[in-house]
């Protein structure tokens, strides 16, 4: 997709897409990697269903070239300053397998609070770099539909349709800067370690970085679609004349959104 020259998120999108760019892993000034010799405890929800979670990690990340798996012994011997989050799992609506996640909040070992990626300082740095997130509210979605109903010929909702799409596997579409990958490790069963190259759920920096994409997409859609549109993270909701629904959805899909 070619971004419009007037897109206010253009520079930040290019930063995310640049060969040497990507998402920086912001750290607290006192941050200390916990290392392969001082691993945090595994979460119970992961241990209980680790075979299924590991399969999700493989299918969603490793098989897509978005993560690598190596042995814990290799990490301990050859890699320095590696930081381990904790593998986890959470239910997801309409998805039997749920969603694997990387818990970067419980990466501390013992009582040392410095071994945590998701610190308040790191989140603040991320928000300052990428911009604050402003999700549309239910009221905004209602007002969008009411605005369409005020257009000539559509009074009372006549010949209007509401449509919705989403961006599949949104966060993994964003990559980490190469220097930050070593901070995105997690221990798996069987003496294995997974290192994430792309965005994961459970890291506090991903929402702000992806919000750049959300804002950029909304801008592009609003200058191309005949109706109105709002977007909540990766979920798009629009309202347009019923006879133009196919063209509107085609624009969303053709543009790779």
Q: What is the pLDDT of residues 162-171, one digit of tens each?
A: 999 988 889 9
pLDDT number for residue 114: 62
Residue 256 — very low, low, confident or very high, per pLDDT cuts 50/70/90?
very low
pLDDT number for residue 94: 74
Inform me whether the pLDDT recorded for 236 exceeds 70: yes
**Overall average pLDDT of the 177-181 stretch:** 94
Give the separation between CA 206 and CA 210, rounded to whole angstroms. Answer: 6
**Overall average pLDDT of the 242-247 stretch:** 93
Residue pair 99/92 in contact (Cβ under 8 Å)? The answer is yes
Q: Provide the b/e sequence for 159-189 (b: ≥16 CB within 10 Å).
A: ebbebebebeebbbebbbeeebbbbbbbbbe
Residue pair 67/58 in contact (Cβ under 8 Å)? The answer is no
Tokens of 67: 């993560």
DSSP E strands, the chain: 67-71, 84-92, 95-103, 160-166, 185-188, 192-196, 228-232, 235-241
Q: Provide the b/e sequence for 7-34 (b: ≥16 CB within 10 Å).
A: bebeebbebbeeeeebbbbbbbeebbbb
Structure letter (DSSP) for residue 176: B
**Overall average pLDDT of the 47-73 stretch:** 94
Count of other CB atoms within 10 angstroms of residue 84: 26
Tens digits of residue pLDDT in 70-102: 999 999 999 999 999 999 888 877 777 788 888
Q: Residue 93 burial by CB count (10 A; 0-12/13-18/19+): exposed, middle or buried? A: exposed
pLDDT-wise least confident of 79-93, 186-200, 202-216: 79-93
**Overall average pLDDT of the 181-203 stretch:** 94
pLDDT number for residue 25: 95
Q: What pTM did the predictor assign?
A: 0.89
- Quick one: which of 22, 44, 39 has its CA closest to 186? 39
């Amino acid at each position: 997709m070619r971004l419009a020259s007037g897109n206010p998120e253009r520079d930040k999108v290019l930063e995310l897409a640049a060969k040497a760019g990507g998402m920086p892993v912001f750290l607290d000034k006192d941050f200390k990697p916990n290392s392969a010799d001082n691993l945090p405890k595994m979460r119970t929800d992961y241990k209980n269903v680790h075979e299924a979670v590991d399969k999700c990690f493989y299918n969603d990340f490793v098989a897509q070239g978005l993560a690598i798996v190596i042995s814990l012994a290799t990490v301990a011997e050859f890699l320095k300053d590696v930081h381990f989050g904790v593998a986890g799992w959470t239910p997801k609506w309409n998805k039997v397998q749920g969603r694997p996640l990387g818990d970067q909040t419980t990466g501390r070992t013992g009582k040392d609070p410095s071994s945590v990626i998701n610190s308040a300082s790191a989140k603040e740095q991320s928000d300052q770099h990428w911009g604050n997130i402003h999700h549309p509210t239910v009221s905004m979605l209602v007002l969008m539909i009411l605005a369409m109903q005020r257009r000539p010929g559509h009074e009372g909702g006549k010949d209007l349709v509401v449509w919705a799409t989403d961006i599949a596997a949104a966060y993994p579409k964003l990559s980490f800067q190469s220097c930050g990958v070593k901070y995105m490790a997690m221990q798996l069963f069987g003496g294995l370690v997974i290192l994430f190259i792309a965005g994961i759920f459970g890291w506090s920096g991903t929402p702000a970085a992806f919000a750049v994409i959300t804002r950029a997409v909304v801008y592009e859609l609003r200058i191309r679609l005949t109706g109105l549109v709002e977007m909540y993270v990766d979920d798009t909701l629009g309202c347009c004349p019923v006879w133009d629904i196919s063209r509107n959805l085609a624009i969303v899909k053709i543009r790779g959104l």
